Structure 1
């Protein structure tokens, strides 16, 4: 076993020994989940000698055979049986690999008191009713003192449909993400190329499936399964993937999209083949084997190769199926992460769109915007790019904060200057006159004083008629149906000899035009510190 696989098993056993008997393990695709749980079986023991059986729950045919093969290799002396379709297990084997669909109707042959360990592969499905009914029968659906243990494995231990895994698992005891495993050399390096999706704006208008769910497939197909979109996707692959990539897996939206894409590849002289959920099982296995052997370069699918598919030869992914689900995106990317001889990395060609569409694209996994266009960057490069984007955003935020603080300081200095002028003991005639006024005139700039409320504004400032002349102007705000209009400035007088007479005249005018007591110098609110909201209002 690899070091992290040993550590994973130790973490599981430690948690169970400490009383947590329903645990989850989050491991990136390609980390060897099946290898880990097959070795876990003998390492986990209970005191009850009658409990010796292990039940492995999976939800797809390919996963059943994969798990059975690993267990047979690990335990040649144990009885290993399959419960699926026409294969009927006895219910008493040392290890039973069971399809959820088949097991649901055959539970009566299994004695819960004989089972020590229940393993759930692709455990993000475990909260579905088909799983919970089985766990209920086995007595492990809820937290209990049962010596039986439940261990769930998945690359994506989260649910996009809102159901909580916490209802079937008490704790995720081990996590290892794909970036860590890429850095350590346990998984293949990703090389990412993103392309702006045509008609991307239409994605924002599509229906979704369930609360916070993914795009409605019928709606999505109408956007991406067009002649221009399909031709563009194939041209991109011909430019960047043909000749350099031996095994490309293409993710499509639905069967019609798969067929359309396949025809376009073939039109360009590419030997492309496809598989869907409707494909004959024998033909499916033959095509998979020929693809593994490199007999043709492009395999297309829809909803078939997102989980549990062991195709390590894949060195290119063409992501023609936009999604809002991070889990689905990770599952698709996982197909290209497995190591294989003569495979240095996996090229991911991803079609991206703006954040308003709700799309989750490869750049988003690294903290970048979903429409980030990158050309042939590795996962490490994207991490570095994301760090630079973060530093740039922090620098902009720091600058904006600095400017706002500067504005606040200027406003406070202006207010302080006004307060000092009023209360400093009368150092000049303007100060004395302002101190005598009942209104809180605000110095906007040298030689200009303003009194303003929500209905209008009055300004006393230097007149153009001479350096010692003053003028009074006024405008009115008019509010109509939620909108505000202001009149032009109206000159009340424009030739008063000194500030004292000008302000006294302005006070008389203000008493007639302004009724708001908040404008008075002795208004109670002026004696309390400005609130954060008031300061923010001042600097807007």
Structure 2
């Protein structure tokens, strides 16, 4: 073991931190916190690695191995190939890796185009891809192009590192000739919108609709944290399979769930640009002795008999403190982080696969692309608001393995209550259950059925409410639709919908009819849900020009007129309103200057100033009734009211007001009829349903 040759200068006695990976210890080391220095590996250690770690041997072709696909995998491949034959050359599937089986089935579009390029962003993914391709296709020649390992491009498949090929200023990509490649496969495709991936795609000309290259990506979670759509790389989601049916059909292992409340309040933890927690701030809040003890004691209580437990922590400090806490309780725990030496990381992971120790703690290393099927317990000790990250952590324990009946998920739920923010992700919220519902050793399929029944009951109740007679004790406001509210109401920033403040810091407006508008200096962006249920964005540009016509008054200042250009779709969309708006926000930040973005912020200082005289005159011109005083407004409120009026909210509000008047008249007649009914004691009684 490496630990046998570490010098004594590497050890310290402070119990506060594990400063080097505990994976360096001998397997029989006592289960206690042992602290290492962060100094580089010594010369002795490096020599040991060179003499004991053998280089990868060249792969010798073996007889073809018959690999039986699961039904959904075969269906996915057949679907993708059919779509490819129909002209869809940029596909993505929401499914774990299956490209090894598809590579030989992709026919060369040109006589010279026979090679396949597989790209991924981490070394573990590249090695895993190489192993899978060779296991399924032993006759293929597979090369790796990464770091100091340079591919000669003589193989059938090149497995390449995105940082090595796509890094800005790198020349390594120049040796690749698009004429010899039939396909580019992107593993963990939800990263594909990043610039490094786009450089690779653009080098091959694969973004051109007329390109002969087939671009195909796969990921268990085809979704980005920042709202950027993957349409710059892909144009067709070819296949999707939810994990619930896969559990029911036996392709994923069963899942047991236990939720544990920690009582730790993280409501004031700062959020990053993706609306998830900032890791440093989150770590300072939850990396406490109290919470770490809860995590370890819960594992001892609920995970008895589990052989391989994977723990997700926030950052390196939290990872090491959790690992030390396990060891203080007598559990032989190890950890890996981004600072773990590659040799140690591979050894630690292999020992974990071999069940040489029971608990492995990590942060950000094993969230994706890791094949350790023996994991039978996952501790979700890292709070998140991201659905994608949460599902990635869950997915680590769902692989089938001999002797593994199910995987236990211990979900640690902290207290997060902040106005205007989506709550924490947890297994109950993922299934659609009340986040306050605590679960203990609950079967996830049963919990999912419970959630579906709850949705059905709510739907039935909603339908029944539509059929009931109106309750005269309710206020007329019950019929008010938030996005149709009076544009003259002085509520918050007058944007028309409080939920917009929860989604974006930019000054979005609700103009009714499910339409949301962001006013730019040179036009507007409108987001609305279309018939297919997807939210899409249109950009309408406005140009100014000086009026030089004969009718223009030459004695005054030069007159300027505006021309509104036809709206153009942006390459942005979302499954829901928040993701669509955040996608537009990302586009705005990359399109406009920093000063322009500050002007769009709903929290800009100038918006708190009093409304200007031109704003007040314009509002009085459009004033309805005498209860509205525009002089009370701030500049930002006036801008939002005028913006909503000019974008159509005023007309929609008047239509809704007419509807409300008719409804109030009907209710007035009903109240009068009810008073008359009180006097009837005998005889047939007219049922309320007939009103």
Q: What TM-score do the two structures reach when normalised by structure 2?
A: 0.57
Confirm or deny that 1:373 pairs with 2:438: yes
CA drift at 1:263: 1.1
Change (3 A) 1:38 1:410: closer
Match of 1:139 among 205, 214, 224: 205
Match of 1:274 among 335, 350, 359: 335
Match of 1:205 among 252, 268, 280: 268
Change (3 A) 1:187 1:112: same
Aligned residue number for residue 307 of structure 1: 368
1 CA distance for matches of 2:204 and 2:434? 45
2 CA distance for matches of 1:366 and 1:196? 18
Match of 1:22 among 73, 90, 95: 90
Aligned residue number for residue 288 of structure 2: 226
For residues 427-466 of structure 1, the C-alpha deviation after alignment (integer angstroms, 9 at most, x for no partner) is: xxxxxxxxxxxxxxxxxxxxxxxxxxxxxxxxxxxxxxxx
Match of 1:531 among 653, 662, 685: 662
Match of 1:49 among 111, 120, 141: 111
For residues 407-429 of structure 1, the C-alpha deviation after alignment (integer angstroms, 9 at most, x for no partner) is: 38999xxxxxxxxxxxxxxxxxx
2 CA distance for matches of 1:25 and 1:335? 19
2 CA distance for matches of 1:178 and 1:194? 20
1 CA distance for matches of 2:219 and 2:451? 26
Match of 2:345 among 263, 284, 287: 284
Change (3 A) 1:372 1:152: same
Aligned residue number for residue 82 of structure 1: 144
CA drift at 1:531: 2.6
Q: Does the 8 A contact of 2:264 with 2:415 survive in 1?
A: no
* Match runs of 1:256-405 below 5 Å: 256-353=317-414, 356=417, 358-394=423-459, 397=462, 405=470
* Match runs of 1:453-464 below 5 Å: none
Change (3 A) 1:220 1:47: closer
For residues 471-499 of structure 1, the C-alpha deviation after alignment (integer angstroms, 9 at most, x for no partner) is: xxxxxxxx9x9xxxxxxxxxxxxxxxxxx
For residues 243-278 of structure 1, the C-alpha deviation after alignment (integer angstroms, 9 at most, x for no partner) is: 321110000001111111111111111001111011
CA drift at 1:355: 7.1
1 CA distance for matches of 2:659 and 2:300? 71
Change (3 A) 1:284 1:409: closer
Q: Does the 8 A contact of 1:355 with 1:369 survive in 2?
A: no
Q: What TM-score do the two structures reach when normalised by structure 1?
A: 0.73
SS in structure 2 of the partner of residue 317 of structure 1: strand
Aligned residue number for residue 101 of structure 2: 39
2 CA distance for matches of 1:22 and 1:49? 21
Aligned residue number for residue 490 of structure 1: none
Change (3 A) 1:114 1:198: same
Aligned residue number for residue 231 of structure 2: 166
Aligned residue number for residue 126 of structure 2: 64
For residues 373-402 of structure 1, the C-alpha deviation after alignment (integer angstroms, 9 at most, x for no partner) is: 111111111112212432454466567667
1 CA distance for matches of 2:281 and 2:368? 24
Range with bigger deviation, 67-76 or 166-175: 67-76
CA drift at 1:354: 6.0
Q: Does the 8 A contact of 1:292 with 1:311 survive in 2?
A: yes
Confirm or deny that 1:127 pairs with 2:193: yes
Note the residue ranges of structure 1 that are not aligned, 5 or more in a row.
Answer: 412-478, 482-526
SS in structure 1 of the partner of residue 428 of structure 2: helix
Q: Does the 8 A contact of 1:274 with 1:301 survive in 2?
A: yes
Note the residue ranges of structure 2 that are not aligned, 5 or more in a row.
Answer: 1-68, 477-626, 630-657, 672-691
Q: How many residues align?
A: 416
Aligned residue number for residue 452 of structure 1: none
Q: Does the 8 A contact of 1:252 with 1:258 survive in 2?
A: yes
For residues 104-131 of structure 1, the C-alpha deviation after alignment (integer angstroms, 9 at most, x for no partner) is: 2310111011110000000000000110
Match of 1:193 among 255, 258, 270: 258
2 CA distance for matches of 1:379 and 1:122? 26
Change (3 A) 1:374 1:49: same
CA drift at 1:137: 0.6
For residues 25-74 of structure 1, the C-alpha deviation after alignment (integer angstroms, 9 at most, x for no partner) is: 111x5xxx1xx211211101134110011000011111111111112223
Q: Does the 8 A contact of 1:353 with 1:371 survive in 2?
A: no
CA RMSD for the aligned pairs?
Answer: 2.7
Q: Which has the larger radius of gyration?
A: 1
1 CA distance for matches of 2:356 and 2:140? 37
Aligned residue number for residue 5 of structure 1: 73
Change (3 A) 1:533 1:160: farther
Match of 2:161 among 92, 99, 107: 99
Q: Does the 8 A contact of 2:126 with 2:160 survive in 1?
A: yes
Change (3 A) 1:397 1:5: closer
* 4+ aligned runs moved over 4 Å, structure 1: 394-404, 408-411, 533-540
Aligned residue number for residue 236 of structure 1: 298
CA drift at 1:405: 1.7
